[in-house]
Homo-oligomer: A and B are copies of this chain.
Amino acid sequence: MEDDFAQWYTDVVKQAELVDYGTVRGTMIIKPYGFAIWENIRDELDRQFKETGHSNVYFPLFIPESMLQKEKDHIEGFAPEVAWVTHGGEEELSEPICVRPTSEVLFGDYYAKNVHSYRDLPKLYNQWSNVVRWEKTTRPFLRSLEFLWQEGHTAHATREDAEAETSQMLDIYTELCENYLAFPVVRGKKTESEKFAGANYTLTIESLMHDGKALQSGTSHYLGTGFAEAFDIRFLDENSEEQPVHQTSWGMSTRIMGALIMVHGDNRGLKIPPRIAPTQVMIVPAAQHKPGVLDKAYDLRDQLQQLVRVDIDSSDKQPGWKFNEYEMQGIPVRLEIGPKDIEKEQVVLVRRDTGDKEFVPLAELESRLPALLEDVQQNLYDQALNHLQETTTTAVNMDEFKQALETSPGFIKAMWCGDEACEDKIKDDTSATSRCIPFEQEAISDTCICCGREAKEMVYWAKAY
């Protein structure tokens, strides 16, 4: 892991049975274990979307080329990575059809036809779908030709409502990362050059991987009235005056699986936070051929089932093999039980995060296990927070900036004049990019780290996935 993080990543996603390569270059097969984790992430987000009044819908995979052209910035941003359908059955199509890279134009077209009065607003739609982006270099979860995501698309009567929605969805993404995936994020606004193609501005959460690189983990865009102008989405307000709608879009994708792996993983494999783990406790019987052991192990499974997500491996593989396997899969707690334990009316609990082992009397198991899982969850978060804090440095000149990248890869906080030229130069010189203009600003110095002119704002910089 320390020697070759990229290779470690590729090995772990394969060996932990998360994913496999599809036959078409850059596509992926999400295997049962990987999909079960994604389902837990999806269900938690979906719950929060519904709680905040959003409805799920399903819009088509296909977009006519002419429709994609309607919003100028949007098509410029996405055209280079679109997959085109040109033939249906045996016939050539009169107009090429785009496989959706994102669905703003489809929702724009729909809202234009379905929003007439302020009474029709807001429209709070979300969909869970696959999208295709024709990327040149790909890696499972992180960058793939096709990926799964949710895309929210909303329309509002006022700028205030739309901006509140944009913030609210960033809060939900933050909550998911912090409370479920167990890692902290830096919250802020993307610079103009890094914002979504077609947005007024983009809010982002950025997380930090074990190797010190950042990963954009969720974005929420205030689209302003750009799509409303392009698609003519207008409504009569309470004074019967015609107004354009204000829109947002926001998305989180299977890319977040990459963050989960790269924030918490170690040389033994994954560490899945308990709140998102498909299996929280794996029972591994010891000396299971001895009379009574398997019976007791299954009884325990049945007993604990109401309390935690528990599974049992009673296959005839060696316990050592099983230990390695479930450590690789990052199952938070292993429960061992053998003849001696039965005699002593106890079990052995082993935490994946620290490797700590404890003997727990059977009578205390039902109270200890949930508490232990909470400990693991909290410890994973604390470790990720520590790592982020330890590797976040400040720089007031380019020498410090480069030094920091070298000695302590992570986020660098540095001042910026607001000029795209400086952003480009920093990227060319160091391959670090602006990750966000954080909501929590600090006055690190008065001058831009790149050009020395007056600084406008503090930016988080990092090398990124």
Give residues in A with beta carbon < 8 Å to B: 20, 22-24, 27-32, 35-36, 38-39, 55-64, 67, 79-90, 96-97, 99, 106, 109-110, 114, 125, 129-130, 132, 134, 145-146, 148
Contact = CB atoms under 8 A, between A and B. Distances in A.
18 contacts: A20-B110, A22-B62, A24-B63, A27-B60, A27-B62, A29-B58, A29-B106, A31-B57, A32-B125, A36-B55, A38-B58, A60-B145, A60-B146, A80-B89, A81-B89, A83-B87, A83-B89, A85-B99
A21 to B, nearest CB: 10
Contacts of A55: 32, 35-36
Contacts of A39: 56
Contacts of A59: 22, 29-30
Contacts of A56: 32, 35-36, 39
A81 B148 CA distance: 25
A58 B30 contact: yes
B106 A23 contact: yes
B109 A60 contact: no
Contacts of A125: 32
A84 B81 contact: no
Contact of A97 (B24, B28, B58): B24
Of A20, A83, A96, A132, the most chain B CB neighbours within 10 A belong to: A83
A57 B146 CA distance: 15
Copies in the assembly, this chain: 2
B89 A86 contact: no
Contact of A148 (B38, B58, B106): B58
Contact of A88 (B23, B110, B134): B134
Contacts of A61: 27, 61, 99, 130, 132, 146
B110 A60 contact: no
Of A62, A63, A99, A129, the most chain B CB neighbours within 10 A belong to: A62
Contacts of A146: 60-62
Contacts of A114: 20
Contacts of A20: 110, 114
A110 B32 CA distance: 13
A79 B39 CA distance: 33
Contacts of A60: 22-24, 27-29, 145-146
Given A57-B32, A58-B148, A87 B86 contact: yes
Contacts of A81: 89
A23 B58 contact: no
A218 B97 CA distance: 30
B109 A23 contact: yes
A64 B96 CA distance: 19
A125 B22 CA distance: 16
A12 to B, nearest CB: 18
Given A83-B85, A83-B88, A134-B88, A63 B23 contact: yes
Contacts of A106: 22-23, 29
B86 A80 contact: no
Contact of A23 (B24, B64, B85, B145): B64
Contacts of A27: 60-62
Contact of A80 (B38, B90, B109, B110): B90
* A-B CB proximity, top 9 nearest: A32-B55, A27-B60, A88-B134, A22-B60, A30-B58, A84-B87, A24-B62, A89-B134, A86-B86
Contacts of A130: 61, 129-130
A67 B28 CA distance: 16
A123 B35 CA distance: 15
B82 A57 contact: no
Contacts of A80: 89-90
